[in-house]
C-alpha cells in the first residue's frame, strides 16, 4: 500500500494542501492503483509522511467520505469504498485544480498503471488541460519586466510585501476594473492573492462557519466544493442553464434555508463556456442583497472574449456590496504567474487581510511587479489581442473538424471566447467516462462531464470539455480526428 501512496504535494502552490491530497487520491482510484477495499494510511501516518498537520489529512478524508469514495470502519481505519470504482472517471485529477502541478504528475502515470500497455513517453494530445500553451506565454516581455523590476527596486522585490499586495499593482488593478465597468473601484478594496484558488479559500475562511449552506454550480469547478466542505459547510449543487445559474432553484434555497455563500463563474463558465445573460447577473446581485448571502464571482476568462470587450461582471450590479470578485490572470497570461486579485465587500476587507496574513504573509513581490508593469502600459492589451485571435482560430478549427467528422453543429454551442468547447455526445455514444477511457488508450485526453458534476452521484455524463486552446493547429486536427473516428467508427456502427 505504501507504494500506491507515494503522494506528492506542493507547499508553495496556491492550491490548499487538503485539496491536493484529495486530487491525488481521486486519481489513484481513477487509474486503478487504489481499488475497493484497499486500506488507507492512518491520519497520523499520512500526515507524518507528507509533513502536514493531521487536520489537513482529516479534511481530505472527510471530503472523500462525503463523495462516497472512502468509508470509515470503526476500530480499523479508512478504506476505499465498494462504490468507488463506478464513481470515478479516468484522469479525473485534471479537473479539480487545473492550475496545480499535480496535473503533470498524475496524468502520465495513468497510462502506464492503467494497464493499457502503451509507452508512457508517447506523445499525448491533451484536450483536458484548460491552460494556455507555452508557445503563447509572453516570455520576452516577462524577461524584460523581471530585469526592470530588479534594476529599479533591487532587494525590495524579494522582501515580504504588504499583506494586501504591492500598492502600485493594487492601483493598476483598480484602474483597470474601473475602466472596464465604468464605475470607480478603490485600490483599498483590492487584495492581491497567490492565485484564484487561494482567493476562493480565503473567502471561505472569512464567510463560512460550520453548518452554513453554500451553493456551487453543476457542472462546474469541483475544487470549490472541496474548499466549502473543508470549511464545514453543507454544499448544494445548482444546475447551470443556457443563460446562467438556475436562479429559481437558488431562490427557493434562499427562502427556505439560511444560505450563506454562492460560487459562480458567469463569463465563459468552466466547463460549459456559457456567458450569463445581463438579466441573470442583475437578478443574482439583487437576490444576494435581499437574502443576505455572499457571492464569489470567479473571473477567469473575460479578458479572452473574442470581440475584445469583457462582459460586465455581477459585481457591476452589486448595490448591496455582497460580491467578492476574483480576477485571475492564469488563463490570459500564464499559469505560473500565481497572482490574482480579490475585490472585497468593504465590511469584510479587514477580515480578508487577516486571513491572508495567516496563510502566507504576502504574495510573490517580484511577480506582483511584473504584473503591475503589464497592466500599467500597453503590453497586456497587446498580448490579449494576439491570444484572442489565436484562440478564435483554434476554435474555428475545432468546430470544422467536428463537422467534418460527421457531428451535427447542434451538439455544441459556439463559444464566444476562451479555450474550451462543451460537446454533447450523440445518442449512440457511450457515456463520457467510457469515451474518455477509449481515447486515452489512443493518447488523447478528454475531460468528461462527471468530473465537473457536484451532485452525488453525478447527474449526467453525456458531455466532454474540449480544451482546443491547449494544442497547436496540427495537434488539434490529430486529436479531433481520433475523437470523431472513435465516435463514428467504434460506436455508431457497433
Mean pLDDT is lowest, of 188-202, 424-438, 448-462, for 448-462
pLDDT of residue 490: 63
What CATH number does the domain located at 154-377 have?
3.40.640.10
pLDDT of residue 259: 97
Count of C-beta atoms within a 10 Å radius of residue 137: 17
- Peptide linkage before 81 cis (omega within 30 of 0): no
Distance (Å) of CA 184 to CA 67, 72, 174, 224, 349? 43, 52, 8, 29, 17
The three-state secondary structure class of 244 is strand
260 vs 209: CA distance, rounded Å = 9
**Is 339:368 a contact under the CB 8 Å cutoff?**
yes
pLDDT of residue 4: 44
Paired residues of 237 in beta bridges: 216
pLDDT of residue 86: 53
**Is 141:374 a contact under the CB 8 Å cutoff?**
yes
Mean pLDDT is lowest, of 88-92, 327-331, 360-364, 431-435, for 88-92
Nearest residue to 370 (alpha-carbon basis) of 193, 116, 149? 149
Band (150; pLDDT cuts 50, 70, 90): very high
pLDDT tens-digit map of 99-133 = 333 333 333 333 333 333 333 345 789 999 899 99
Distance (Å) of CA 159 to CA 341, 368, 371? 20, 12, 17
Q: Indicate the domain borders of the chain.
A: 3-88, 154-377
Distance (Å) of CA 240 to CA 144, 207, 324? 42, 24, 20
Task: Name the percent of the chain lying above pLDDT 70.
Answer: 88
Mean of pLDDT over the chain: 87
Asked if the model's pLDDT at residue 260 lies above 70, the reply is: yes
Determine the average pLDDT of the residues in 337-356: 95
63 vs 61: CA distance, rounded Å = 5
The residues, ordered by sequence, that sit 6+ positions from 102 with a Cβ below 8 Å of its Cβ are 8, 9, 10, 15, 20, 23, 24, 27, 93
Out of 1.10.10.10, 1.10.357.10, 3.90.230.10, 1.10.3470.10, the CATH code matching 3-88 is 1.10.10.10
273 vs 242: CA distance, rounded Å = 10
The residue ranking higher by pLDDT, 346 or 113, is: 346
Q: What share of the chain is helix, strand, coil (3-state, %, to 5)?
A: 50, 15, 35
Q: Are strands 323-328 and 294-299 parallel, antiparallel or unpaired?
A: parallel
pLDDT of residue 296: 98
pLDDT tens-digit map of 383-403 = 999 999 999 999 999 999 999
> DSSP assignment, residue 487?
I
pLDDT of residue 460: 84
Which of 30-44, 45-59, 470-484 is predicted most confidently? 470-484
Q: Are strands 294-299 and 259-264 parallel, antiparallel or unpaired?
A: parallel
pLDDT of residue 258: 92
401 vs 417: CA distance, rounded Å = 18
pLDDT of residue 101: 31
Determine the average pLDDT of the residues in 22-38: 82
pLDDT of residue 473: 96
pLDDT of residue 20: 84
- Classify residue 244 as left (phi > 0), alpha (psi -120 to 50) or beta: left
Asked if the model's pLDDT at residue 1 lies above 60, the reply is: no
Asked if the model's pLDDT at residue 136 lies above 70, the reply is: yes
What kind and span of H or E run contains 325? Answer: strand 323-328
493 vs 88: CA distance, rounded Å = 27
Band (11; pLDDT cuts 50, 70, 90): low
The residue ranking higher by pLDDT, 82 or 422, is: 422
The residues, ordered by sequence, that sit 6+ positions from 3 with a Cβ below 8 Å of its Cβ are none
Give pTM, 2 decimals. Answer: 0.81
Band (493; pLDDT cuts 50, 70, 90): low
Determine the average pLDDT of the residues in 168-184: 93
Asked if the model's pLDDT at residue 476 lies above 70, the reply is: yes
416 vs 306: CA distance, rounded Å = 6
pLDDT tens-digit map of 48-58 = 888 887 778 88
Amino acid at each position: 500500500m505504501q507504494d500506491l501512496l507515494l503522494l506528492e504535494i506542493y507547499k508553495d502552490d496556491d492550491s490548499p494542501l487538503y485539496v491536493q491530497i484529495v486530487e491525488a487520491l481521486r486519481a489513484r482510484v481513477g487509474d486503478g492503483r487504489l481499488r475497493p477495499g484497499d486500506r488507507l494510511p492512518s491520519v497520523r501516518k499520512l500526515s507524518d509522511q507528507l509533513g502536514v498537520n493531521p487536520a489537513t489529512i482529516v479534511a481530505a478524508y472527510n471530503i472523500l467520505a462525503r463523495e462516497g469514495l472512502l468509508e470509515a470502519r470503526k476500530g480499523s481505519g479508512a478504506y476505499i469504498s465498494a462504490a468507488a470504482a463506478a464513481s470515478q472517471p479516468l484522469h479525473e485529477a485534471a479537473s479539480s485544480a487545473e492550475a496545480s502541478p499535480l496535473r503533470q504528475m498524475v496524468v502520465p502515470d495513468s497510462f502506464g498503471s492503467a494497464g493499457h500497455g502503451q509507452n508512457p513517453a508517447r506523445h499525448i494530445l491533451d484536450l483536458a488541460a484548460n491552460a494556455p500553451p507555452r508557445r503563447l506565454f509572453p516570455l520576452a516581455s516577462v524577461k524584460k519586466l523581471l530585469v526592470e523590476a530588479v534594476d529599479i527596486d533591487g532587494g525590495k522585490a524579494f522582501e515580504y510585501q504588504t499583506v494586501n499586495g504591492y500598492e502600485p499593482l493594487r492601483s493598476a488593478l483598480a484602474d483597470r476594473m474601473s475602466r472596464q465597468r465604468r464605475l470607480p473601484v478603490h485600490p483599498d478594496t483590492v487584495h492581491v492573492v497567490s492565485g484564484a484558488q487561494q482567493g476562493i479559500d480565503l473567502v471561505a475562511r472569512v464567510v463560512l462557519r460550520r453548518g452554513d449552506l453554500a451553493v456551487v454550480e453543476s457542472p462546474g469547478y469541483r475544487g470549490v466544493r472541496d474548499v466549502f466542505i473543508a470549511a464545514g459547510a453543507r454544499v448544494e449543487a445548482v444546475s447551470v442553464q443556457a443563460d446562467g445559474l438556475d436562479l429559481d432553484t437558488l431562490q427557493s434555497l434562499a427562502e427556505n434555508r439560511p444560505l450563506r455563500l454562492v460560487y459562480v463563474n458567469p463569463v465563459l463558465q468552466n466547463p460549459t463556456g456559457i456567458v450569463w445573460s445581463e438579466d441573470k447577473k442583475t437578478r443574482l446581485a439583487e437576490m444576494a442583497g435581499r437574502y443576505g448571502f455572499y457571492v464569489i464571482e470567479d473571473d477567469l476568462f473575460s479578458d479572452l472574449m473574442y470581440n475584445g470587450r469583457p462582459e460586465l461582471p455581477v459585481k457591476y450590479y452589486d448595490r448591496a456590496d455582497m460580491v467578492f470578485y476574483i480576477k485571475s490572470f492564469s488563463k490570459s497570461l500564464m499559469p505560473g504567474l500565481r497572482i490574482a486579485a480579490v475585490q472585497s465587500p468593504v465590511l469584510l476587507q479587514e477580515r480578508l487581510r487577516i486571513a491572508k496574513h495567516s496563510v502566507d504573509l504576502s504574495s510573490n513581490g517580484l511577480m506582483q511587479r511584473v504584473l503591475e508593469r503589464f497592466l500599467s502600459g500597453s503590453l497586456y492589451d497587446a498580448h490579449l489581442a494576439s491570444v484572442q485571435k489565436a484562440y478564435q482560430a483554434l476554435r474555428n478549427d475545432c468546430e470544422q473538424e467536428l463537422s467534418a467528422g460527421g457531428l451535427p453543429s447542434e451538439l455544441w454551442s459556439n463559444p464566444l471566447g476562451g479555450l474550451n468547447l462543451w460537446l454533447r455526445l450523440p445518442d449512440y455514444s457511450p457515456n463520457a467516462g467510457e469515451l474518455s477511457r477509449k481515447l486515452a488508450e489512443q493518447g488523447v485526453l478528454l475531460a468528461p462531464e462527471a468530473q465537473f458534476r457536484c451532485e452525488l452521484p453525478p447527474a449526467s455524463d453525456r458531455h466532454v470539455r474540449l480544451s482546443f486552446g491547449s494544442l497547436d493547429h496540427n495537434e488539434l486536427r490529430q486529436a479531433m480526428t481520433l475523437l470523431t473516428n472513435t465516435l463514428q467508427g467504434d460506436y455508431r456502427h457497433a
